[in-house]
Amino acid sequence: MPEDRKMPNDALRLFFLAIEEVMGKDGMRAALHGAKLDKYIDNYPPKNLELGVSMSEYGLAEQAVEDFYGARGARAMLLRVGRALFNYGMKEQSTVLGLAGQALKLMPVPMTAKMKLLLEQMAAAGNKTVNQPVTLEEDADAFYLVYSVCMCQYRPKHQNPCCYITVGILMEGMKWLTDKNFAVQEVTCANLGAESCRFKIPKTPE
Ligand SMILES: [Zn+2]
């Protein structure tokens, strides 16, 4: 396991709000207790960008949601949490997600150009705000967000890529931006020993 890494309070706060939206208040309390994060029960991190929380805490909370629903049911729930997280970030214009909001959505440029702009903002937010190094790559068919450090590195080993929160965030982000559904996939995952978590965002909708 890599050395723990700090992240901004607002990143964990938004994540907790999103979990609470999907699991309810009681479910959230149970998840935090299960993650041994009792100190956050009814006491979420403050809404600011100070590096006051850690990636391992985010990873533990994500794992607790997965454990709560079981390996089979967890995927759909984690995707929902990721989608809720995007929507909270958007509603609050949180710099954690690097969102420019309506201005970007209404820009008169082709769809893939808009997608690239949003993904560039999300990558910049990772690098500048979240303390999570990330690069954006592109080929003819898809964009790729590549995270060399990820919260999944602080979770138990999985059989399959497990960063469904990020997949959900990206699915919802693209949906919000284009009104279309994109089959976002995590193609390599650091939890399984890969060098990075690599998310593929196809340029063509489903
Ligand atoms: Zn990951």
Among 16-25, 45-54, 104-113, the minimum mean pLDDT is found in 104-113
pLDDT at 67: 93
Query: 165 lies in a domain?
Result: yes
Answer yes or no: is pLDDT of 102 > 80: no
Q: How confident is the model at residue 1 (pLDDT cuts 50, 70, 90)?
A: confident
pLDDT, averaged across the chain: 94
Query: 40 lies in a domain?
Result: yes
| Cβ contact 61:28 at 8 Å | no
pLDDT at 136: 98
Answer yes or no: is pLDDT of 99 > 90: no
pLDDT at 2: 76
Q: How many CA atoms lie within 13 A of 173 on its CB side?
A: 28
Structural domain including 194 reads 6-202
Query: 1 lies in a domain?
Result: no
Among 74-83, 91-100, 151-160, the minimum mean pLDDT is found in 91-100
Query: 82 lies in a domain?
Result: yes
What long-range pairs does 127-135 form, CB within 8 A, spacing at least 24?
A: 129/8, 129/49, 129/95, 129/96, 129/98, 130/7, 130/8, 130/11, 130/96, 131/5, 131/6, 131/7, 131/8, 131/51, 132/5, 132/7, 132/55
Answer yes or no: is pLDDT of 18 > 80: yes
Cα 121 to middle of ligand 1, angstroms: 19
Say whether 202 sits in a helix, a strand or coil: strand
pTM of the model: 0.95
d(CA 109, CA 119): 15
Say whether 143 sits in a helix, a strand or coil: strand
| Cβ contact 17:45 at 8 Å | no
| Cβ contact 103:192 at 8 Å | no
The stretch 33-44 carries a mean pLDDT of 95
Q: Let me know how many helices (H) and strands (E) the chain has, helices first.
A: 5, 6
Cα 87 to middle of ligand 1, angstroms: 21
Answer yes or no: is pLDDT of 104 > 90: no
- State the total domains in the chain: 1
Cα 203 to middle of ligand 1, angstroms: 22
Helix (H) or strand (E) holding 11: helix 9-34
CATH value at residue 145:
3.90.1520.10
Cα 108 to middle of ligand 1, angstroms: 34
Cα 136 to middle of ligand 1, angstroms: 15
Query: 71 lies in a domain?
Result: yes
Q: Which CA distances in Å does 25 have to 9, 14, 174?
A: 20, 14, 28
Rg (CA), the chain: 16
Answer yes or no: is pLDDT of 203 > 90: yes
Cα 113 to middle of ligand 1, angstroms: 26
Query: 143 lies in a domain?
Result: yes
User: What pLDDT digit, counting tens, does each position of 151-196 carry?
Assistant: 999 999 999 999 999 999 999 999 999 999 999 999 999 999 999 9
| Cβ contact 147:132 at 8 Å | yes
Residues with CB under 5 A from ligand 1 (ion): 150, 152, 163, 197
Cα 194 to middle of ligand 1, angstroms: 9
Return the DSSP state at 195. Answer: S
d(CA 37, CA 78): 18
